[in-house]
Amino acid sequence: MKTCRIRVARDSPLSGAFDWALVDDNGTELDSGTAPLRQPPAGACELLIACDLVLLDRVATPAPQQRRISSALRFLVEERAIPDPERLHVAAAATSGKDMLSVGVIDRQWMEQALARLERSGLSARAAYPECLLPELPPNAWTLVWNGDCSFVRTGEVAGFAMDSPKEGELPVSLRLALEEAHGTASAPERLVLRVAAGAASPDAEKWSAMLGIPVEQGPAWRWSAAQSKPGLDLLQGEFAPRSIDRGWAGALRRPMILAAVLAAVGAIGVVADWAAKAHERRTLLAEMHGIFRAGFGETAVVVDAPLQMNRAIAELRRQAGHVGADDFLALFRAVADRLLDPAKHRIESIAYDNGTLTLSLRPNDAAQFSAEFNAMRAMPSIPGLQVALQSAESSGSISVRVTKTTKNQ
């Protein structure tokens, strides 16, 4: 996987000038340059903050409280930083020491401007590391990167500082003071490893060794883009934390998300194709029914509901030809008369027929037998093909019988 690394200096947010490099997982540099922000590969990138912009320090903090004081970190470093705490952005990282917290302090307004400039150029920062923490730290040694005015020293896992620019032949004051402060402590180095950046004139290692009283060894040349290890302190915390999904999760979910999208697309295409086929079939059937209806009843016939109109027309033709339909008056009355009507027990008071529905009003010959007659009718078996509804009107002494033809879905 390729990674775009950008080294951001103090004037980069205003000038837009910066160094960038495209590297692979092995730290091999694939491309690099110094250009305005619009020219490097677009997308997520790693920022390397110049050494003179970040103050690295340690603050005493009880271990149980370290996760709950992120909003107050700027006030914990107030004595170590000159600006007002409100102007500071402080990021924290755990250390091996108990009740100690490593912090990186940077100007909040500068950080805002740098990230805004990146965003306007189509770039988003996924991490921001102090440049002081990039070089490897050999055991019992400090790593000194010499790059003229941008020189620095890494003194610990999350510790380092930018050096001052001495006159020719002199030692950096900050380096000498740091060694004096560390003398006699567990953090005191046994040697210094000197790494010189490309284009910088190397100091006299032997002279420095004699002046400092510890060996100064020449190490490999320094290239910020070739650093492979990730520092333990990421400055993009709190208000500057990336809003995007973590890249590990994004990488793990990429294939399932693509597969889900493909399946959803295929399913949608299948649904649309099926709907289109059924719609075409429906239009074809309707056109065929309209053609059959007009072929039988004339080209000028108005077709609204072809199946219903065809059933009604066929029924009318059958009646005109003398055929009795199942819902005609005679067919319904004959079926009811054979099953329900008994002149010895009741008589017909009224008969009504309307649109395939026959309604009879029966009155028992013996009023005292009204309930017995009604229950006896209800107990009779159903008539095939017909639906018979009985309703008792005991106050008037009559029984209402409503008969209709049973539809296919009943």
43-49, strands of its sheet edge to edge: 29-35, 18-23, 3-8, 43-49, 123-130
Other C-beta atoms within 10 Å of 385: how many? 12
Which ranges of 244-394 would DSSP assign to H, the alpha helix? 247-297, 306-320, 329-339, 370-379
Mean pLDDT for 27-56 is 77
- From the list 29, 40, 38, the residue with the least C-alpha distance to 6 is 40
Three-state SS at 207: helix
Sign of CA dihedral 113, 115, 116, 122: positive
The fraction of the chain above a pLDDT of 70, given in percent, is: 84
- CB 73, CB 90: distance < 8 Å: yes
Please say if the pLDDT value at position 235 is more than 80.
yes
Rounded Cα distance, 194 and 143, in Å: 6
Task: Work out whether strand 141-146 and strand 88-94 pair parallel, antiparallel, or are unpaired.
Answer: unpaired
Rounded Cα distance, 197 and 2, in Å: 24
Which ranges of 298-398 would DSSP assign to H, the alpha helix? 306-320, 329-339, 370-379
Q: Return the bridge partners of 32, or none.
A: 21
Please say if the pLDDT value at position 66 is more than 50.
no
Rounded Cα distance, 404 and 328, in Å: 10
The answer for residues whose C-beta is within 8 angstroms of residue 59's C-beta and 6 or more apart is 73, 76, 77, 100, 101, 103
Per residue in 103-144, pLDDT tens? 888 888 999 999 988 888 778 888 999 999 999 999 999 999
| 169, amino acid identity | G
Please say if the pLDDT value at position 308 is more than 70.
yes
- CB 226, CB 23: distance < 8 Å: yes
Per residue in 183-226, pLDDT tens? 888 889 999 999 999 888 888 889 999 999 999 999 999 988 88
Other C-beta atoms within 10 Å of 175: how many? 21
- From the list 110, 48, 103, 98, the residue with the least C-alpha distance to 81 is 103
Rounded Cα distance, 81 and 106, in Å: 9
| 133, amino acid identity | L
The fraction of the chain above a pLDDT of 90, given in percent, is: 19
Predicted local confidence at residue 17, as pLDDT: 79
Name the least confident of 123-137, 310-324, 338-352, 364-378: 310-324
Which ranges of 71-204 would DSSP assign to H, the alpha helix? 73-76, 108-120, 173-182
Size of the chain, expressed as the number of residues it contains: 410
Q: Crossing angle of helices 205-212/173-182, nearest 10°?
A: 40
The answer for residues whose C-beta is within 8 angstroms of residue 205's C-beta and 6 or more apart is 194, 216, 217, 218
Please say if the pLDDT value at position 321 is more than 80.
no
Mean pLDDT for 271-285 is 90
Task: Work out whether strand 152-156 and strand 159-162 pair parallel, antiparallel, or are unpaired.
Answer: antiparallel
- Mean pLDDT, the chain, integer: 80
Burial class of residue 330 in the structure, from the number of CB atoms within 10 Å of its CB (0-12 exposed, 13-18 middle, 19+ buried): exposed
Burial class of residue 139 in the structure, from the number of CB atoms within 10 Å of its CB (0-12 exposed, 13-18 middle, 19+ buried): exposed
